[in-house]
């Protein structure tokens, strides 16, 4: 027999005994409960009937209800009708009880709860009530024929007194006293009905609990049998599984002693152990391959980072070459005039030496031909232009030095405005007009910033990346916009103090902007919107790490497609530098 059948049969026995006991408990309990409920309902009905009868008898007092209106015929007739209506209501109560008593005679389940004493008493009261009703109608008819004269009123009073002293009224009033003993008996009967109802509920509860206890006992016996027949083989399989997990010994095998579900489970476990052993061997090989791939990827990433640095360096070198080219060309173009003027001076000197005896006349003639005054004036201008050119070279070299900070790669206290200006100087060639695109205007809104402790070279690299991207965005928007709708090409740089310990550099442009989807990815490594071969997608991710990790700051971006982009660089005024 399989484990499934054993368990099913055991459950069937337990459930069958439980259902049998519960059903028996409900049947027996409901039988006694229905009898108790019928007794309680009958008692409540009789109690209410007696209460209504006593109340009706006590409320029908002709002397109090009719005497004040003997001299008011109309009001007397109205109150007389009310009295007759109340008597009729009492007759209807007796009729309802008669109907109820007939039902009890027909229904065998209600025969045992009939109250014959009450039935006999109410039968006699029907006669009394009928006589009282007739006597009341006669009295009201008699009074209704009288007028409101004093003589008639006196007659009416005598008639009312005779009505109150009549045997019909006395029998009507005395019936209330006859109902008192029956009321006490009905109260006792009601208490017995409540007790019987509680006892029926208790019997039903005991039977149900007994059946449940029997079911528990049977379930315990079945569980013991199941533990012997099923649990021990299962424990053996579980032990092997635990040892394999704890010891990582995949040579272990679970014993297969039967062909039931436990035997099938043991076979499946043995197969699983072998498959896990093979998978672990493959996993180790995959880990080795993955480690090799990771090392290669790491090297490629370093190469990409180096490529990004080289790309930035290429922009830097292009700017340097462009800016240095003009002063050098300026100086080179003036070397030829200087040489000619020097030759002329030498010629004059030689001529002076050859004509020494007549030096005065010859020098005057030479002075007129060579125009020594012009030579002196032009030579001064040339020297000035050369001086300007060399100053320009020094300024560019100084800007390159401030940007890269090669001599200050560590933490320094610097003026951020100098680094920003150095970046602008390097990008000056890109800011100038190119083709149809006009010059990009730089708006500076510098605040009074304190000296800031940072890593100048890395901070300037961030500013350089953002400015270069801003120029690209402006050019892209400019060349995509029709000539009739050209927008200004502007970059605004604003600096301010944020709180007591933070400074902010805001760089905004009038470029093409970007969508929210792109904006959420700009700080992700290797993400770029530029054509292949132009951007590596590392510039902004490196910038984000420089600001957030190296400087402990924040780098945020807000952009509107078609209108421009704003970058917010926030860093503390002093960094925590590891010793």
Contacts of 51 (CB under 8 A, 6+ apart): 183
Per-range mean pLDDT, top range of 193-207, 305-319, 388-402: 193-207
What band does 445 get if pLDDT is binned at 50, 70 and 90? very high
DSSP 53-69: HHHHHHH--HHHHHGGG
- Residue 106, pLDDT above cutoff 70: no
Highest mean pLDDT among 61-75, 197-211, 317-331, 463-477: 463-477
pLDDT score recorded for residue 108:
47
Asked whether the beta carbons of 257 and 263 are under 8 A apart, the reply is yes
The answer, yes or no, to whether residue 450 has pLDDT greater than 90, is yes
Average pLDDT over residues 181-205: 75
**Percentage of the residues of the chain whose pLDDT score is greater than 70:** 72
Neighbours of 562 (CB within 10 A): 13
Confidence of residue 566 (pLDDT cuts 50, 70, 90): very high
Using 50, 70 and 90 to split pLDDT, how confident is the model at 406? Answer: very low
Domain chopping of the chain, boundaries:
3-223, 300-393, 405-572
pLDDT in the model for residue 504: 96
Given this model, what pLDDT does residue 109 score?
45
Percent of the chain with pLDDT over 90: 13
Residue 211, pLDDT above cutoff 70: yes
How large is the average pLDDT for residues 210-231? Answer: 73
Which has more confidence, 509 or 487?
Answer: 509
Q: Is residue 384 predicted with pLDDT exceeding 60? A: yes
pLDDT digits (tens, 9 = 90+) for 1-52: 566 666 777 677 767 776 776 777 677 767 777 777 777 777 777 777 777 7
Mean pLDDT of 335-361: 67
Instruction: List Cβ neighbours of 18 (8 Å cut-off, separation of 6 or more).
Output: 211, 212, 214, 215
Residue 304 has pLDDT above 70, yes or no: no
Per-residue pLDDT at 151 exceeds 70: yes
Whether residue 234 contacts residue 262, with contact meaning beta carbons closer than 8 Å, is answered with yes
Are residues 231 and 261 in contact, defined by beta-carbon separation less than 8 angstroms? no
- Interval 458-478 mean pLDDT: 91
Output the pLDDT for position 499: 87
Per-residue pLDDT, 510: 93
Q: What is the pLDDT of residues 493-531, one digit of tens each?
A: 999 999 889 999 999 999 999 999 989 888 887 778 777
Q: What's the whole-number mean pLDDT along residues 446-471?
A: 91
Residue 473 near residue 513 (C-beta atoms within 8 A): yes
d(CA 137, CA 87): 11
pLDDT digit string (tens) for 231-257?
677 777 778 787 777 777 777 777 777
- Reference 525, options 314, 293, 311, 304; nearest CA is 304
Q: At 317, is the pLDDT very low, low, confident or very high (cuts 50, 70, 90)?
A: low
> Whole-number mean pLDDT of the chain?
76
Q: Own/partner pairs for 156-160, CB < 8 Å, 24+ apart?
A: 156/70, 157/67, 157/70, 160/62, 160/63, 160/66, 160/67, 160/70
Weakest mean pLDDT among 140-154, 253-267, 560-574? 253-267
Q: Within 13 Å of residue 73, how many CA atoms lie on the same side as its CB? A: 12
> What is the pLDDT at residue 150?
82
Q: Which long-range contacts (CB under 8 A, 24 or more apart) does 341-347 make?
A: 341/375, 341/378, 341/379, 344/370, 344/375, 345/375
pLDDT of residue 446: 95
Q: Does domain 405-572 sit in CATH 3.30.565.10?
A: yes
């Amino acid at each position: 027999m399989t484990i499934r059948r054993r368990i099913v049969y055991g459950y069937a026995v337990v459930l069958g005994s439980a259902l049998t006991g519960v059903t028996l408990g409900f049947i027996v309990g409901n039988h006694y409960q229905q009898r108790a409920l019928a007794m309680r309902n009958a008692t409540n009905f009789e109690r209410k009937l007696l209460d209504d009868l006593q109340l009706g008898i006590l409320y029908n007092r002709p002397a109090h209800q009719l005497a004040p209106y003997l001299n008011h015929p109309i009001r007397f007739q109205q109150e007389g009708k009310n009295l007759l209506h109340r008597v009729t209501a009492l007759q209807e109560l007796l009729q309802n009880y008669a109907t109820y008593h007939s039902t009890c005679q027909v229904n065998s389940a209600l025969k045992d709860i009939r109250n014959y004493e009450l039935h006999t008493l109410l039968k006699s009261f029907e006669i009394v009530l009928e006589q009282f009703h007739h006597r009341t109608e006669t009295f009201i008819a008699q009074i209704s024929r009288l007028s409101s004269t004093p003589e008639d009123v006196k007659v009416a009073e005598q008639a009312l007194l005779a009505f109150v002293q009549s045997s019909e009224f006395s029998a009507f009033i005395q019936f209330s006293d006859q109902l008192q003993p029956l009321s006490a008996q009905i109260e006792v009967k009601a208490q017995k009905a409540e007790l019987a109802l509680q006892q029926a509920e208790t019997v039903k509860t005991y039977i149900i609990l007994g059946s449940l206890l029997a079911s528990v006992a049977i379930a315990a016996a079945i569980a013991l049998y199941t533990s012997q027949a099923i649990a021990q083989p299962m424990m053996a399989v579980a032990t092997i599984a635990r040892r394999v997990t704890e010891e990582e010994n995949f040579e272990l095998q679970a014993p297969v002693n039967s062909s039931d579900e436990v035997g099938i489970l043991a076979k499946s476990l043995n197969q699983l152990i072998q498959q896990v052993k093979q998978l672990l061997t493959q996993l180790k090989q995959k880990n080795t391959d993955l480690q090799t791939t990771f090392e290669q990827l790491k090297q490629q990433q370093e190469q990409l980072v180096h490529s990004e640095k080289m790309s930035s360096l290429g922009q830097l070198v292009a700017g340097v070459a462009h800016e240095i080219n003009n002063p050098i060309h300026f100086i080179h173009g003036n070397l030829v005039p200087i040489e000619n003027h020097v030759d002329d001076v030498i010629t004059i000197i030689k001529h002076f030496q050859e004509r020494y005896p007549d030096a005065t006349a010859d020098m005057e003639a030479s002075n007129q031909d060579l125009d020594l005054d012009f030579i002196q004036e032009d030579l001064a201008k040339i020297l000035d232009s050369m001086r300007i050119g060399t100053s320009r070279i020094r300024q560019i070299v100084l800007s390159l030095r401030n940007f890269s900070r090669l001599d200050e790669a560590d933490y320094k206290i610097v003026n951020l405005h100098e680094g920003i200006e150095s970046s602008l100087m390097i990008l000056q060639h890109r800011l100038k007009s190119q083709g149809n695109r006009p010059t990009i205007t730089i708006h500076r809104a510098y605040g009074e910033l304190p000296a800031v402790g940072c890593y100048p070279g890395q901070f300037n690299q961030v500013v350089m990346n953002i400015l270069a991207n801003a120029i690209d965005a402006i050019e892209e928007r400019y060349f995509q916009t029709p000539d009739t709708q050209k927008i200004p090409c502007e970059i605004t740089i604003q600096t301010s103090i944020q709180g007591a310990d933070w400074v902010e550099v805001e760089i905004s442009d009038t470029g093409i902007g970007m969508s929210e989807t792109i904006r959420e990815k700009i700080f992700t490594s290797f993400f770029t919107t530029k054509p292949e071969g132009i951007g590596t997608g590392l510039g902004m991710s490196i910038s984000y790490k420089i600001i957030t990790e190296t400087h402990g700051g924040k780098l945020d971006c807000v952009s509107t497609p078609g209108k421009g982009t704003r970058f917010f660089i926030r860093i503390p005024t002093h960094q925590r530098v590891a010793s």
